[in-house]
């Protein structure tokens, strides 16, 4: 697992260990590893944007004479932030893609020979944002749309080599990642230029309030971890799993509604969360 320090990642690691698997659990800090370490869970320091960390993980897997075949690579490391397309600096876009997309590609490229040799599986943790881009989700959703595309291509490329590729699309999940995303968004919004504050400040406030409301009703990290563990281990997995009722609903709507009607549905859902002095921005309800 590429990101198991907290939340869904830690819950998935514990569930896989409970099912009898030995989990190499990627963590960013030794303290996170100490908190996670247990029977069946071996924390490894891993930053998927650092080539040396990825190489060390490959060496750990391939040099162990007692190692069992690599059953699955779970690509779940990630960061979230909600920011308008215009306002998010290009260097921040690039940093987001480094973690949420390119790091996963690096892990896949590094471990594919081992996965092919053992008939393993790749589980990419996308998001409901990989199917529908809400207002202020542009940068984050872009990384997840890209991961969905990579997963589709990879599944078709590897089908004759015995490696399955599964995508998991969580919606609202009560986890530390959600809290960190809200904190990062608030910090970002506070330092926007005054003209961008006027243009997008109310929209960001509404998006944060809506997200908080959804997360309050969302699945627990343990429930999400159980679904991810299923995706990694059951004999015949589906190509995609949604996590949570909100994810299932939005994915279904993106399949059946015309774009402009979907725009109006999304705008209507956001409107109750807008500050009372604000009017719904035109851009929210138009394509």
Annotated catalytic residues are 140
Pairing of strands 41-45, 164-170: unpaired
Residues 4 and 62: their CA atoms lie apart, in Å, by 21
Q: Which of 84, 105, 96 lies closest to 150, judged by CA?
A: 105
Helical residues (DSSP H) of the chain, grouped into ranges: 7-18, 30-36, 51-62, 90-97, 103-118, 138-158, 176-190, 194-216, 221-233, 245-256, 259-270
Tokens for 84?
Answer: 């308008």
Q: Which of 171, 188, 216, 189 lies closest to 275, judged by CA?
A: 189
Residue 194: strand, helix, or coil? helix
Residues 250 and 260: their CA atoms lie apart, in Å, by 15
Q: Which of 143, 164, 282 lies closest to 233, judged by CA?
A: 164
Q: Which of 46, 8, 6 lies closest to 24, judged by CA?
A: 46
Q: Which residues have a Cβ under 8 Å from the Cβ of 224 and sit 6 or more positions away?
A: 8, 11, 12, 170, 173, 175, 243, 244
| Measured CA distances, 266 to 36, 76, 172, 204 (Å) | 38, 27, 16, 14
For the beta carbon of residue 191, count every other beta carbon within 10 angstroms: 8
């Amino acid at each position: 697992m590429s990101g198991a320090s907290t939340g869904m990642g830690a819950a998935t690691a514990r569930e896989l260990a409970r099912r009898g698997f030995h989990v190499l659990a990627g963590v960013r800090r030794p303290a996170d590893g100490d908190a996670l370490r247990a029977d069946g869970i071996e924390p490894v320091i891993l930053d998927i944007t650092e080539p040396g960390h990825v190489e060390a993980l490959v060496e750990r897997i391939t040099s162990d004479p007692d190692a069992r075949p690599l059953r699955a690579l779970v690509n779940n490391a990630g960061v979230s932030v909600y920011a308008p397309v215009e306002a998010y600096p290009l260097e921040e876009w690039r940093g987001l893609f480094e973690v949420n997309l390119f790091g996963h590609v690096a892990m896949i490229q590094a471990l594919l020979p081992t996965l092919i040799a053992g008939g393993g599986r790749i589980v990419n943790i996308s998001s409901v944002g990989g199917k529908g881009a809400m207002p202020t989700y542009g940068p984050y959703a872009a990384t997840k749309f890209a991961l969905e595309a990579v997963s589709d291509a990879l599944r078709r490329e590897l089908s004759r080599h015995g490696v399955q590729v599964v995508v998991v699309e969580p919606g609202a999940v009560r986890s530390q990642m959600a809290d960190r995303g809200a904190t990062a968004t608030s910090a970002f919004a506070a330092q926007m230029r005054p003209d961008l504050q006027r243009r997008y400040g109310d929209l960001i406030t509404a998006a944060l309030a809506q997200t908080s409301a959804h997360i309050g009703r969302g699945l627990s990290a343990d429930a999400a971890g159980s679904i991810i563990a299923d995706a990694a281990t059951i004999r015949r997995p589906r190509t995609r799993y949604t996590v949570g009722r909100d994810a299932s609903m939005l994915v279904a709507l993106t399949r059946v509604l015309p774009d402009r009607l979907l725009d109006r549905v999304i705008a209507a859902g956001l409107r109750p969360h807008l500050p009372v002095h604000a009017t719904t921005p035109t851009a929210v309800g138009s394509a």
